[in-house]
Amino acid sequence: MKEIDIRGAMVAAGRGLALALTAIVGSVTLFVLTVVSVALTTVGIGFLTTPSALAAVRAHANRRRLLAAKWSGIRIPPPYEPLPADVRGGLTGRVERTVLLLKKRATWRDLRWLLVDMTAGFAVAVAATWLIVFPVEGLALAAGLWRVFTDDPYWYAFVPVDSQLTGLYAFALGLVVLAAGLRYSPALVRAHFTLTRALIAPTQEEELARRIERLTESRHDAVDTSAAELRRIERDLHDGAQARLVAVGMDLGTVEALIEKNPAKAKELLGKARLSSAEALTELRDLVRGIHPPVLAERGLGDAVRALALRLPLESEVNVDLPGRAEAPVESAAYFAVSEALANVVKHANAERIWVDISYGEGMLRVAVTDNGSGGAAVGKGSGLSGLERRLGTFDGVLAVNSPVGGPTMVTMEIPCELS
């Protein structure tokens, strides 16, 4: 038996105990409170308490979703839809919220999950711990604890222990249980989360409907973003390069009139026109780089991000592990998403160092931007990260942010694609 397996089993036993305690305390309490609260809606009191009770249930379920992803790599999408923005406050708003929440299938799925979690979920979780802890009792009995039970035999599972020989039988049974625990405890923890996913994950129809809704919103955002980008390009051309080229034309007209009468002045204007044309060329290059950087088209995402990092005022490190190149639109979306994430770090994070890791696996282009700043970043309405999420949503990509207060912050982006 490898040490890593033993360590994994011990960790699984601890996690199983934590899940069992959460199930028997949290799920039982929330189930009773919620059922009583919903029942009290018949006399009006429940309208005051039910929204808060259901919010606690959802927080409890979301905590389990987080543990499922963290401990077993099982993703359980949240099926909750936001309530309409026009729901009023006060007592009337409480009644509206209660009615809307009780109409949601996700609410009744959560209540069903609480009932199963406190029973089958508890049993599966506690089994992961029992398989590791139970053999300790067998060892104690073999070491002489059986002498305490002199009047009646002590039953260790199905083994009656009343002598040193039966104590050794108990120890042998404990070894068998321990071997099973070392092998199956991690699987039992995973089975607990698999059961949870079967009960509270959205159905395929709901997931498809949400995906269609998200793609529709992303399409609208993409159209709005494209229109805003075209307006920006037009404004930059009008106020920048176009104005300079017009000035160059006027200067050259003046030079043409003065070249014989005042050669010195004409020479001065020629120098001014040359400088203006150079500045116009620089602005055009910057504008083109903002639309689609040449290094991105020529050398790919990795080198484009490295070039982007070199221009940062912070120390940076870029690690790239890509076996090929994605399609141009995907590379462009990933590049500008990284650019926006880096700009957010420089502007808000108070960081000293940035790490960018780009990789590909399981049909996903993954980019992680990590900084050692002050943390506290979140995806919210009006934040830079929300715009980044919309940009990725156009390609059915996802954004995850892990940013505890005090740092560090890790922004992870995934875009489904194929590499060539």
Q: In this structure, how many other beta carbons lie within 10 angstroms of the beta carbon of residue 93? A: 15
> What is the rounded radius of gyration, in angstroms, for the C-alpha atoms of the chain?
32
pLDDT at 179: 80
Asked whether 377 and 385 are in contact (CB, 8 A), the reply is: yes
Bridge-based pairing state of the strands 353-361 and 364-371: antiparallel
pLDDT at 146: 63
CA distance 364 to 303: 19
pLDDT per residue over 248-293, tens digit each?
777 777 777 777 777 777 777 777 777 777 777 776 666 555 556 6
Spatial CA neighbour of 334 closest among 355, 364, 377: 364
Asked whether 357 and 367 are in contact (CB, 8 A), the reply is: yes
CA distance 34 to 57: 8
Please spell the DSSP secondary structure of 331-352, one letter per residue: HHHHHHHHHHHHHHIIIII--S
pLDDT per residue over 288-327, tens digit each?
555 566 777 788 888 888 988 888 888 889 999 988 888 8
CA distance 304 to 331: 10
Asked whether 384 and 349 are in contact (CB, 8 A), the reply is: no
Q: In this structure, how many other beta carbons lie within 10 angstroms of the beta carbon of residue 233? A: 14
More confidently predicted of 371 and 383: 371
More confidently predicted of 232 and 71: 71
Amino acid at 44: G
